[in-house]
Structures are given as structure tokens and as C-alpha cells.
Amino acid sequence: MKYELYWRLFAKTKSIDKAGKILERFLRETKVELNVISKEVYWKDSSLIQIEGTTDLDSFTPGSLIHEVLLCIKKVSAEWSLSIHEGQYDGYLDLSGITDKSMRISGLTWVSFTMQEVHLE
């Protein structure tokens, strides 16, 4: 089984280039390695750029994963709504979080993450 974190971030800017700079701050502060999937104007609000990406979790055990994710997200915001459920397989947890409050990285307005299983074909 392979797991990854799927990230979705909203940057308060109309410029893809400026969103890239906000993303750089996010990466620098959180030390997350992000494989960017998309960076585009959000269809519901043209004053936001939506950034989506994934972080590979192969090097973590379930216990260390939660600890590392919590250390990471506290650098983004002090206030999160977290959901933790027992995963489909023994020893794994489904973890997700969302925040739009007390952002510590200038330019970000909303961030979410979801731990997800990657199906290899």
C-alpha cells in the first residue's frame, strides 16, 4: 500500500506568478515536498488561485505520520478542523484537515489536506 497527502490551497491573488511565491513560502515554512498537480484561477472566485498537489508518505509509519503532519500543519495555522478515522486496513488511519483561520503564511486563505491511498496499476 502506498499513501500520500493530497493538498488543496487557496492563495489570495489574481496572479499565477504571485501564487507561486505564496506556494514557495508554504513549502519553505512547512518543509513539505509537494508534487504540484495544478495552479489555476478558482472558478468560483477569480480573486483566488487554487493550488493542488500531493506529498508522498512512503517513508512514514502510521504513528510517525500523524506526528509529522501535526508538526507541519501547525506552521500553517493554529486552528484546524481535523478528522481521524480508522482506515480500511489494519494499522492505518484516514486523516484529513481543513482551515481558513489564523493563517501563519501570508497570502493563504484556505488549506486542506487528506491522507489517501494510491492505487498502483
Q: What's the pTM value of the predicted model, to 2 decimals?
A: 0.87
Q: Does domain 2-118 have CATH number 2.60.40?
A: no
Question: How would you label 51-62 residue by residue, b for 16+ Cβ within 10 Å and e otherwise?
Answer: bbbbbebeeeeb
Domain coordinates in residue numbering, the chain: 2-118
27-40: per-residue pLDDT in tens? 999 998 999 999 99
93-117: per-residue pLDDT in tens? 678 999 999 999 999 999 999 987 7
Given a cut of 70, whether residue 120 has pLDDT beyond it is: no
Q: How many CB atoms lie within 10 A of CB 116?
A: 16
